[in-house]
Structure 1
Amino acid sequence: MTTETNESMPINIGISADDRKKIAHGLSGLLADSYTLYLMTHNFHWNVTGPQFNGLHQMFMTQYTEQWNALDMIAERIRALGHPAPGTYKAFIQLASIAEVEGVPKSNDMVRHLVTAHEAAARTARKMFPLVDAADDQPTADLLTQRIEVHEKTAWMLRSLLE
């Protein structure tokens, strides 16, 4: 993650190598959180039971599909900044701020875990703004804004199920 991918042709996009490295590292944390959230949501989709089964099963499928598509956008931004994207469980565990859930929780606990995880992903994205703004990196800022919006809206919708 710390080595640029093409040293024979330096990247000259108006963002310093040091800033690109720091931004790529931050995005790697977001990618790890996003992958962990994707896997959690897919697991819950497979294992949800109870009176809310159909609604949650469908909702979780919509959510994990959105997460899956986001993974590519985040990884490709890391690559565009000249760094390899992490792609192993070992790397994701080291980088993620979201903990894995043990066992199969009850449906309301699944919803609570997902609210917490979406909020964590939003915090991971939000904490990158000072660096991204200082580096004048609008594409990453746009990506972060999109991800925060999705995570905050999804957390709100999930939280509404618990009222």
Structure 2
Amino acid sequence: MKVNIGLKEQDLQATTELLNKLLANEHILYMKTRNAHWNVVGKDFHAQHLFFETQYSAIQTFIDDIAERVRALGHIAVATLKQYLELTHLDEEEFIKNDSISYIKALLSDHESIIIQLRADIEVIGEKYGDEGTADFLTGLMESHEKMAWMLRAHLS
């Protein structure tokens, strides 16, 4: 059934395209954080293993929330690895060292990249497409990524 929430179909389409790109980025970040959780080694193993678990658990919630937002807007959430790799702007990477600092630096860079993209998307979705609900949703998500980035950054000080 067609969504009738006061937004034009072309604006809903454009908004959900941005959301699906975000969904792809979140999935890549989720897997990279899982990788860190599974493969971190060093004297700080236990603490970092638990820390990365906290981070990927939060990202898992983001993923579900984004997909549900796409569906609430009447569109299909991308849901294949192929689509994620086509849509993401993040890089997959293999780590030469499995130390916490290497993982933290890479994850921090990805969070900051997502934050920058979210800022741009919030402006476009709110001002150009008139979807204040999605803009607000993305603002909350951006704040969560900012907090996660702070937590990662604190390990590097």
Query: Shorter chain as normaliser: what TM range?
Result: over 0.9
The equivalent residue for 2:120 is 127
Is 1:158 the equivalent of 2:152? Answer: yes
Q: CA RMSD in A?
A: 1.3
Q: Which residue of 1 aligns with 2:37?
A: 45
| Cα displacement (A) at 1:130 | 2.5
1:74 pairs with 2:66: yes
Count, aligned residues: 155
**Pair 1:118 & 2:111 matched:** yes
- Provide the C-alpha distance between the structure 1 equivalents of 2:83 and 2:46, rounded to a whole number of angstroms: 34
Percent identity between the aligned chains? 39
Q: Give the Å deviation of 1:109.
A: 0.7
- Which residue of structure 2 lines up, in the alignment, with residue 141 of structure 1? 135
Q: Among residues 18, 21, 24, which one is paired with 1:26 in the alignment?
A: 18
Query: 2 CA distance for matches of 1:108 and 1:98?
Result: 19
Query: 4+ residue runs of structure 1 moved beyond 3 angstroms?
Result: none
Check the 8 A contact 1:122/1:152 in 2, yes or no.
Answer: yes
Q: C-alpha distance in 2, partners of 1:28/1:34?
A: 10
Q: Is the Cα contact below 8 Å between 1:11 and 1:82 reproduced in 2?
A: yes
1:26 maps to a residue whose letter is L
- Does the Cα contact within 8 Å between 1:28 and 1:86 map onto a contact in 2? yes
Deviations 1:65-94 (A, max 9, x none): 011111111001111111111011110011
